Amino acid sequence: MNVAVITVHGCPMRQAGGKDSGGMNIYILEMAKRLAARGVQVDVFTRHHDPLDPQIVMFAPGARLIHLPAGPPSLDKSGVYELLPQFTSQMRRFCIANRLNYDIVSSHYWLSGLVGMRLASEWGVPHTTSFHTMAEMKRRGRPEEAEVAQRDGSEMNIACSADSVVVWTEHERTAVAEYCNVEPVKIDVIPPGVDLTRFRPMSQRQSRDHLGYGDEMNILFVGRLEPLKGLDNLFRAVASLEDPTKITLNVVGGDENSQEKTRLQTLASRMKLTQSVNFIGSVNQDELPYHYNAADVCVLPSHYESFGLAALEAAACGRPVVASDVGGLPAIVKSGATGYLVPAKQSDVMAERLCELLQNDVLRSRMGDAAREHAETLSWDRSTDALLDSYRSLVPAPAVAAAPAAGG
């Protein structure tokens, strides 16, 4: 089977935590590698995000990343919509020039869905799509945040025309079915996984020594720096604790010179948290487990999350998680067992739960053990097998053999 994966705005090889780079990128990379290990030929198409990007990167046997020129590399996703015709043309041209055949097109995020919808129709092959976060769900969490005008209508068209929609949780399945008026039978729930070898419990003391940390209580946030992630609320919760000076909040993720980082630094200063909040920036996947293991508690204060991969990574490292009770986070955080779910935007409740965990070593340990046990049920291999089954249901064996040439 040959699969064309489309991720126009986000390159899966870029370091997670930076601009337009998060859980979706990790998901695409991990699934592509594991599909290739199962004999599937995978080509991942994205824009050039750096002038030095080579056109083709073989990142695993049978899995390639293909960069296509479409607008300036520095452009963020808010400007990508206008470039979709150019990207579609470049992808079509590349496939014709290289005589590529695909049996299925898999798109990620609505921008890529528009490309996938067009090319799958031209090639006469199935199209499966994943939104990762839909505009309506994002708007419910943060109604004041503006969206590209074409997004809502595009998402509905993509969902209705796709042969299948892959979502991460039952919550997302219900949302897609209701909002896009799609039959639930066309929606496959396939949760992401976690690398249980990389993200595993390690010595907290050794992890802190590795990172140069002291003995103060350590709260950890991992994710992109954007308003939807709810860091304002986390800052308020930390500021209301009895003695914030004895606590360090490590913020992992974000671009060094982003406007959001500057805004959050100003907010931390205004709340007298300058000595407590440590902006670390994005780190590579090999370093990330040390940050989880150095922490006492991990927090996801998001206004909305379709899943929340950072919560699963923290759980795999044996750390309790305090998270907003939104989106797909209840699928990871079992409130009262592996951590706590709190109402979104209620910093007082978040502060209470943080205080409870920080003051009780036995509770943290018990919840951390339970978190690891739950994470062990969500491996990448299990996710890949489910996705491959979904693909096979759309591409019967005889159809694979007779798949037309792309662009033919």
Compute the average pLDDT of residues 34-40.
Answer: 96
| 367 belongs to a structural domain | yes
> CATH code at 7?
3.40.50.2000
Looking at residue 398, its pLDDT comes to 57
Compute the average pLDDT of residues 151-172.
Answer: 94
Answer whether residue 399 shows pLDDT above 50.
Answer: no
Looking at residue 242, its pLDDT comes to 85
First to last CA, the chain: 18
| Contact present, 220 and 298 (Cβ < 8 Å) | yes
- Same domain? For 122 and 262 the reply is no
Say how far apart CA 301 and CA 39 lie, in whole Å.
39
Looking at residue 36, its pLDDT comes to 97
Task: Give tens-digit pLDDT for 340-387.
Answer: 999 999 999 999 999 999 999 999 999 999 999 999 999 999 999 999
> How far are the Cα atoms of 60, 106, 111, 189, 405 from residue 391, in angstroms, in the given order?
20, 9, 21, 13, 19
User: Exposed (0-12), middle (13-18) or buried (19+): which is 58, by Cβ within 10 Å?
Assistant: exposed
- Same domain? For 176 and 225 the reply is no
Compute the average pLDDT of residues 292-318.
Answer: 94
Compute the average pLDDT of residues 122-144.
Answer: 87
- Same domain? For 366 and 389 the reply is no
User: Exposed (0-12), middle (13-18) or buried (19+): which is 284, by Cβ within 10 Å?
Assistant: exposed
The 3-class secondary structure across 221-287, one letter per residue, is EECCCCHHHCHHHHHHHHHCCCCHHHEEEEEEECCCCCHHHHHHHHHHHHCCCCCCEEEEECCCCCC
> How confident is residue 206, by pLDDT bands cut at 50, 70 and 90?
very high
Looking at residue 65, its pLDDT comes to 96
Q: Six-digit token pair at 3?
A: 């699969």
Looking at residue 293, its pLDDT comes to 98
Looking at residue 52, its pLDDT comes to 82
Looking at residue 15, its pLDDT comes to 58
Looking at residue 264, its pLDDT comes to 95
| 262 belongs to a structural domain | yes
Task: Name residues whose C-beta falls within 8 Å of residue 282's C-beta, 6 or more positions apart in sequence.
Answer: 15, 16, 17, 18, 21, 252, 253, 254, 255
Task: Give tens-digit pLDDT for 188-200.
Answer: 999 999 999 999 9
| Contact present, 119 and 8 (Cβ < 8 Å) | no
Q: Considering only the C-alpha atoms of the chain, give the largest distance between any 2 of them, rounded to a whole number of Å.
A: 68
| 368 belongs to a structural domain | yes
Say how far apart CA 150 and CA 177 lie, in whole Å.
20
Looking at residue 74, its pLDDT comes to 73
State which amino acid sits at residue 148.
Answer: V
298 vs 396, more confident? 298
Query: For the chain, what's the residue count?
Result: 408
> How confident is residue 19, by pLDDT bands cut at 50, 70 and 90?
low
Q: How many domains does the chain have?
A: 2
Give the number of C-alpha atoms closer than 13 A to the C-alpha of residue 71, restricted to the C-beta side.
20
- Same domain? For 181 and 312 the reply is no
- In three-state secondary structure terms, 332 is coil
Helix (H) or strand (E) holding 6: strand 2-6
| 406 belongs to a structural domain | no
- Same domain? For 362 and 388 the reply is no
- Same domain? For 384 and 347 the reply is no
- Same domain? For 333 and 261 the reply is yes
Answer whether residue 55 shows pLDDT above 60.
Answer: yes
Looking at residue 16, its pLDDT comes to 56
- Same domain? For 225 and 270 the reply is yes
Which range of residues forms the domain containing residue 322? 204-375
State which amino acid sits at residue 353.
Answer: R
pTM, two decimal places: 0.86
Looking at residue 53, its pLDDT comes to 84
223 phi/psi in degrees, rounded to 5: 160, 175
CA trace torsion 277, 282, 287, 289 (10° rounding): 70
| 159 belongs to a structural domain | yes
| 362 belongs to a structural domain | yes
> How confident is residue 78, by pLDDT bands cut at 50, 70 and 90?
confident
- Same domain? For 163 and 228 the reply is no
> How crowded is residue 157: how many other Cβ atoms within 10 Å of its Cβ?
16
- Per-chain mean pLDDT for the chain: 91
Task: Name residues whose C-beta falls within 8 Å of residue 107's C-beta, 6 or more positions apart in sequence.
Answer: 5, 6, 7, 113, 115, 116, 117, 127, 128, 129, 130, 158
- Same domain? For 260 and 135 the reply is no
- Same domain? For 159 and 222 the reply is no
Answer whether residue 403 shows pLDDT above 50.
Answer: no
| 199 belongs to a structural domain | no
Looking at residue 20, its pLDDT comes to 53
Dihedral sign for Cα 217, 220, 226, 232, please: negative
Looking at residue 201, its pLDDT comes to 97
Pick from 7-11, 17-21, 287-291: least confident: 17-21
Map tokens 């309790």 to a residue. Answer: 320
- Same domain? For 152 and 273 the reply is no
Looking at residue 404, its pLDDT comes to 47
| 137 belongs to a structural domain | yes
Give the number of C-alpha atoms closer than 13 A to the C-alpha of residue 172, restricted to the C-beta side.
28
